[in-house]
Homo-oligomer: A and B are copies of this chain.
């Protein structure tokens, strides 16, 4: 039976980007809205995508010497309050547990919004001597931040992430770690997710609550807005002092260790959607795609088609994540649309004429290109094509970022560029004064994204106040 069922279309991204985004999340079956305020039901497809991201990151964390631990989801109020800046930053957005069963708790517990306070309590028990350092921990968990407005993956009350937490003998060691993990994130985004990122430091205004310095990787989305894709924080010894964590140094004196933390979350799934997606739906980077190749038989009731496609599936299953969709309730055309919506990187079509010729047709999701492949060469061609899709995605995203990144030498230029171009990043000099940062937000509607490690001076004066400026910043609208 072949019906004419059609995949429902999604909103055009140029008409309503926000609606397009939500359509993709729902129709690609990544996640659904839940009956719990601001929380998602993440479907098997979205969960598999996150699990693949997790696997790839975990390999990198282990290769850099980190170990996973599991700490509680609750933080007693008194523990959260130990570091003043930290509690000030997070208290307004935490969920509070006040009752256990029918009894009121003597002390409120917050559901962790992040776990610095818990790790500090943990460190106290495991750090005694310089021989115990560094401690290089990571935790995979979910955290809760009571956000007013939420959007699937981008901003949800509960979200999933990994949080790295480390302690070091010296400030230099900790700063090195902070940069090392930012580089791990950048390499992961570019080499695994095909998302080009800009590495830099956050301004004082934008840094993490309680940190001395916050490093960030910023990615440009399809609508011209920036997404903070991962952050790495250097804390100095502030938390350690507040939590009274000490160790006996090499010289026998009592010292205070230096700390970092770094995190990447399910928000990066929003980043994948908005970097690579198009008007046919999701486009997934091959390395983390739950389905890398879908095989669709053409005229499957004809001789040999079922057998041949099943044999292809068996062969490809040894080298990639592949499925064969031979459900006869749906037409090949419906299936094409369905797997385009789900962002499957490669589609293999195979029908009677292909079998006759000993070939099949491979279609790339990233650019629609159709490649005729000799059936005997699939084991060489499929991995090469997956790699080509990855590179195609990365270069397309990089080109877009370069084309939409502007440069402003004056405040009026900043205002007109921010209003004129369809988003994009803006490069401009900054004197370092927070007042200018605030004014730029008020007048041009942009926030500082980062002070990039790669500095390319535009002028020598601040775009806002005209005073001497040595730093070039990226500015933009952000998620």
Interface positions of A (Cβ within 8 A of B): 32, 34-37, 39-44, 46-48, 50-51, 67-76, 79, 91-102, 109, 111, 118, 121-122, 125-126, 137, 141-142, 144, 146, 157-158, 160
Contact = CB atoms under 8 A, between A and B. Distances in A.
Rank and list the top 8 A-B pairs by shortest CB-CB distance, nearest first.
A44-B67, A39-B72, A100-B146, A42-B70, A96-B99, A36-B72, A35-B121, A98-B98
Nearest to A29: B126
B125 A36 contact: no
17 contacts: A34-B72, A36-B75, A39-B73, A41-B70, A41-B71, A42-B70, A42-B71, A43-B69, A43-B126, A44-B67, A46-B70, A47-B68, A96-B97, A96-B98, A97-B97, A100-B157, A111-B111
A35 B119 CA distance: 11
Contacts of A69: 41-44, 47
Given A68-B44, A96-B98, A98-B98, A73 B137 contact: no
Contacts of A109: 36, 95
Nearest to A34: B72
A74 B158 contact: yes
A76 B36 CA distance: 7
A99 B100 contact: no
Contacts of A158: 72-74
A329 to B, nearest CB: 8
Given A41-B69, A47-B70, A160-B70, A101 B94 contact: yes
A46 B160 CA distance: 21
B93 A39 contact: no
Contacts of A32: 122, 125-126
Contacts of A93: 100-101
A128 to B, nearest CB: 13
A35 B100 contact: no
Given A48-B68, A98-B96, A100-B95, A41 B122 contact: yes
Given A94-B101, A97-B95, A158-B72, A79 B47 contact: no
